[in-house]
Every structure is written in structure tokens, then in C-alpha cells.
Chain A
Amino acid sequence: MKTLVALMACCVASTAMAQAPKADMTGIWRRVGTTPNVVVDGGGQPRLTADGAKQYAANRAAAARGDYSHDTSKICLPDGIPRLMLKGQPFEILQRPTIVAFNYQINRLPRVVYLDAKPPIENGGYYLGESTGKWEGDTLVIDTRGFNTDTLIDDAGLPHSEDMTVTERLKLSADGKKLVNQITVVDPAIFRSPWTTTVTYARQSTPIVEDVCAERIGGSKPKRKR
């Protein structure tokens, strides 16, 4: 009986820990050090398939001649995931028991990570995909999938397919001032193998400011690349 009680206490405690992590990521964060292109852990760039390399080369060539029609963020469409997690603009995390919201300063974009749902939530085809998450101890593990192909992975024009999956492992530093995100991308149509890039955000004391992309670029542009 004593053993049974101990066993139950163990399992109740473990469930409670999964539901109520000690880590509180609520606050405003900003990436420390940015690069226009993804640098994978250990150095270098993601290894592209032939099709991926072709799309990337086309994007780079277009950008070199000043044509950014492949980058719909230039006409205020949402940067996707993981690009929003790689940008240098701040974002706010609101950590709650059943959701974790990421509210990005860039054009006021919202993202809700559902901790009480399993993928897929709906039918996909979203700029930011659909995010579900779970706590592994004090690490928040986010699965995002269900993308459209109108976004890029980074500012340099790295493409992805609609089958991309992104896994983020977010963990606070011991002092709570830094947040480390280990981002893993799987997309066999574009990349020869899964790759991981790890980025760090610093806690900010200044508030998010209102950013209105349509105003920044002088009015919304009813133009699309296709």
C-alpha cells in the first residue's frame, strides 16, 4: 500500500510538472545577433536537394537584380515560421497553462501554440503553420506544420515546401534573462537532411511598439507573385 501511494505521488508529481513548468517565458524577447541566412549548428548552410538549390538560386538571382517578388513579406504578407523566430525585431511571449502566445512586433503578427491539441489542428495552408506544444521538464517543445509555400525560411531567400515541419525546443537560461531556441527543420523536398540552428534571445525591458506594415510601405499592395 505504501509503495502504491509512493508510486501515485510520483506520477501525480510528474504530471503536475509537465503541466506547470517552473520556467516562465512570459515577457519580451529579441534575438541576439542575426544573420540574413540560416547558419546551421556546427557551421555552414543547410544542404539543399537539386530542386531546393534551383529555387534558392532563383530567389538569390532575383534579389541580386532588386526583384523581391519571391519575398511576400515585402508586401506585408506574414513572415512564416521559422523566419519570425530568426528576425531581429522583438516579440512577446505570453505563457499560460493551455496556450503559449507569441506576439511578434513585425506587423503585429500573432501565433498561438496550443498545448492541449495534437497536430494537425485543421487543414494547413497557413503562413505561420499550426503550432502545438508540450513541456518536457522546463523545455517547451513546439511542433509547427501545415504551411503554405508563400513564405521563406530566412531573409536570404531559403525556400521550403508545404510539407516542412519545424520543431522548436525553447529553454530559459538559469538567470531567466536569455532564451535559447533549438530549431530543427525537416523538409525532404528541399533539404537533403534535417538541420538544426540554435538561436538566443535576450529579455527586453522596453515595450513592443505598434508596427503597421501597410503604413511603412505606403499602403497595402494588392499584388501577388502568382
Chain B
Amino acid sequence: MIKTNLCRVAVAVAIASVSCGVQAQQRPAQRLNNSDDPGLTLTPAIGRVSAEAPAGSRAPTADPRDFEGVWWISRYEYLLGPSAGVPPPLKPEYMTILERRVRAKNRGAPEADASTDCRPHGMPRLMESPYPIRIVQTPGQITFMHEVAHNIRRIFMDQQHPAKLKPNYLGHSVGRWEGDTLVVDTTGLNDKTFIDDEGSTHSEQIHVVERYRKINGGKDLELVMQVTDPVTLTQPYSYTRIYKWRPDVKPAEYVCEENNRNAPENGVTVAK
């Protein structure tokens, strides 16, 4: 457990390099849109975040609609496009902004987004967190309790979104079962967050649909994430992620606000 926590701390602190025993599995650095420009080098993915639960851990239940427990993403991507190392299908003006942000990061002065300031990560980025997530299922509601920055998402089952939503960081989520797949529809997100860690832009019109199902005997939770944004994207896109069943993990107290060394100054993340 302590080892796990240290690993998690390392993931949180390191931006370009991660000392978590996972370097060997990282891909070689790629550049944005296969550019020749070293200033557009992308941060390599973390090839393995969570492994399988240790032998002897409590087995997942056979109920395909029982997601309750702790899950942990298997790998971590800094760019959330349709496939690894590929950016979201941004319109040209927003691709230019992403290039600017990647260059700023490579200069050592990354542009600040909400999460740098201990505000929530927004969606879809929150689901890419390299920290564990506890799912709690109660009548009419499925709750995601994220270790990262004490984010809590409530998915209201079999409801409609309210007609008028004031945009906020995690939006408004409604869910339904399609067979044994949980379909979560999120809207009402503000535009203060980035799609991903590299800095892809979304607008308040972003619409996120997540499809979750248990696979591999319940040891994996598969997410198919679909992102739509008529303002910044040329077309909707989707990608797939795996979260590992981790009944052995107790998510830790995570206090971003404690001694936030990376608190932004004038819009730039300051590493101290």
C-alpha cells in the first residue's frame, strides 16, 4: 500500500518523466502530428498505471451491472485523441492552440488549466486520471469518487438533463443501462478545463458519452469514451480505456490545495 502510494505521488509530481518503475513500458516520444519540430514533442504515455489486483484479492461479483468497488486505469495518455499519440480532431485554429501549449510545456512553462489551480479536471480528462476511482451504486444514482483532487461525479439514473444548466467543471451526468452497458451522458461543462493533459481545447458545447461494461470476468471495466464538440472539433471521436478491478486499494486522502507548488502565476504553471 505504501509502495503504491509512493508510486502515485511520483505520477503526480513528475510531468515529463515518471519514476514509478514503468519507464520500460513507455513508448518512445512522439511529436504532435508527426512534426519534425522538437518543440512539439509529446509527453510519453505511462504504459502501466495499475496492474491486476494481487492474488487472493476479493473476486469481482458475477453481476454484470455491479460495478461497485475500486477501479484503477491500466495506462495513462497525456493526449486524448482517437488513438495513442494522435490528437483530437481539432479544427485548425484549435490545433494551433494545442501546438502553442505543447511548445510552452517543452519550454518548461506550461499554460495553466483549472486542475493546476486545484479546480476539477473536467471531462473527459477526469476519467484519464492515474489515480484510483471508487464506484458506489445506490438507488437511482451511481457515484464516482475519484482519489485525484477529491472529485466526485454523480450519475443520475434514468433521468433527463435539466432544461437549463449553468455550466460547471464536471457538468451534469445522467445514466441508463443498455443491456449490461452503463451509458453515461454528460453535458453542462464549462470551458475552463482542457480535454487532455497536453491542452486540447473544448467549448461549453462539449458533449461526452461514456459506455462502461465489465469484461474479462469482471476484472476489467471497459470504457468507450465519445467526445463531441461542434465548436472546437471537426467531428466526434472516441477511444477505449481499461480500468482494473482493485479491491485491495483504499483510495487515499488527496489534498491538491496543500502546498500547491505548481499554482499558476499569470496563467503559467510554475514548477517550484
Which residues on A are within 8 Å of B, measured CB to CB? 26, 75-78, 94-96, 99, 101, 103, 107-110, 112, 114, 121-122, 126-128, 207-208, 210, 212-215, 219-222, 224
Is B31 interfacial (CB-CB < 8 Å)? no
Is B253 interfacial (CB-CB < 8 Å)? yes
Chain B residues with CB under 8 A of A109: 150
Q: How far is the CB of B154 from chain A (nearest CB, A)?
A: 7
Instruction: Determine whether the beta carbon of B138 is less than 8 Å from that of A26.
Output: yes
Task: Name the CB-closest residue of B to A150.
Answer: B258
Chain A residues with CB under 8 A of B257: 75-77, 107, 213-214, 220-221
Task: Name the CB-closest residue of B to A223.
Answer: B259
Interface string of B152-196 (1 = CB under 8 A from A): 101000000000000011100000000000000000000000000
Bound Cα distance A141, B40 (Å): 56
Bound Cα distance A78, B257 (Å): 9
Q: Which 10 A-B pairs have the closest CB atoms?
A: A76-B257, A220-B118, A214-B118, A210-B168, A222-B263, A220-B260, A94-B136, A126-B253, A222-B260, A26-B138
Given contacts A103-B143, A212-B120, A214-B118, contact A78 B151 (CB under 8 A): no
- Name, among B2, B139, B150, B253, the residue most crowded by chain A CB atoms within 10 Å (CB to CB): B253
Instruction: Determine whether the beta carbon of A78 is less than 8 Å from that of B263.
Output: no
Instruction: Determine whether the beta carbon of B143 is less than 8 Å from that of A219.
Output: no
Chain B residues with CB under 8 A of A121: 250
Chain B residues with CB under 8 A of A99: 136
Instruction: Determine whether the beta carbon of B117 is less than 8 Å from that of A77.
Output: no
Tell me which of A77, A78, A94, A214 contacts B119 (CB under 8 A). A214
Q: How far is the CB of B4 from chain A (nearest CB, A)?
A: 11
User: Given A213-B118, A222-B260, list of 4 further CB < 8 A pairs?
Assistant: A107-B150, A109-B150, A221-B260, A224-B258
Task: Name the CB-closest residue of A to B250.
Answer: A121
Chain A residues with CB under 8 A of B250: 112, 114, 121-122
Q: How far is the CB of B138 from chain A (nearest CB, A)?
A: 5
Bound Cα distance A1, B2 (Å): 51
Count residues on chain B whose CB falls below 8 Å from chain A CBs. Answer: 34
Given contacts A128-B253, A214-B257, contact A108 B152 (CB under 8 A): yes
Which residues on B are within 8 Å of A, measured CB to CB? 1-2, 68, 117-120, 134, 136-139, 141, 143, 145, 150-152, 154, 168-170, 250-251, 253, 255-261, 263-264
Task: Name the CB-closest residue of B to A123.
Answer: B2
Q: How far is the CB of A226 from chain B (nearest CB, A)?
A: 11
Bound Cα distance A121, B264 (Å): 35
Instruction: Determine whether the beta carbon of B136 is less than 8 Å from that of A101.
Output: yes
Bound Cα distance A179, B53 (Å): 37
Given contacts A127-B253, A220-B263, A224-B259, contact A214 B150 (CB under 8 A): no
6 interchain pairs, CB-CB under 8 A = A26-B138, A75-B257, A76-B257, A77-B258, A112-B250, A224-B258
Task: Name the CB-closest residue of B to A95.
Answer: B138
Bound Cα distance A127, B169 (Å): 24
Q: How far is the CB of B109 from chain A (nearest CB, A)?
A: 17
Q: How far is the CB of A19 from chain B (nearest CB, A)?
A: 16
Task: Name the CB-closest residue of A to B149.
Answer: A108
Task: Name the CB-closest residue of A to B143.
Answer: A94
Instruction: Determine whether the beta carbon of A127 is less than 8 Å from that of B138.
Output: no
Tell me which of B118, B150, B170 contacts A110 (CB under 8 A). B150
Chain B residues with CB under 8 A of A112: 134, 145, 250-251
Chain B residues with CB under 8 A of A219: 117, 263-264
Bound Cα distance A110, B144 (Å): 11
Chain A residues with CB under 8 A of B120: 108, 210, 212
Q: How far is the CB of B158 from chain A (nearest CB, A)?
A: 16
Chain A residues with CB under 8 A of B136: 94, 96, 99, 101
Tell me which of B152, B255, B264 contacts A103 (CB under 8 A). B152
Bound Cα distance A73, B207 (Å): 34
Given contacts A76-B257, A210-B169, contact A110 B119 (CB under 8 A): no
Bound Cα distance A119, B263 (Å): 35
Instruction: Determine whether the beta carbon of A122 is less than 8 Å from that of B1.
Output: yes
Instruction: Determine whether the beta carbon of B169 is less than 8 Å from that of A221.
Output: no
Bound Cα distance A94, B143 (Å): 9
Bound Cα distance A94, B138 (Å): 7
Task: Name the CB-closest residue of B to A219.
Answer: B117
Bound Cα distance A76, B150 (Å): 12
Task: Name the CB-closest residue of B to A117.
Answer: B250
Bound Cα distance A89, B78 (Å): 36
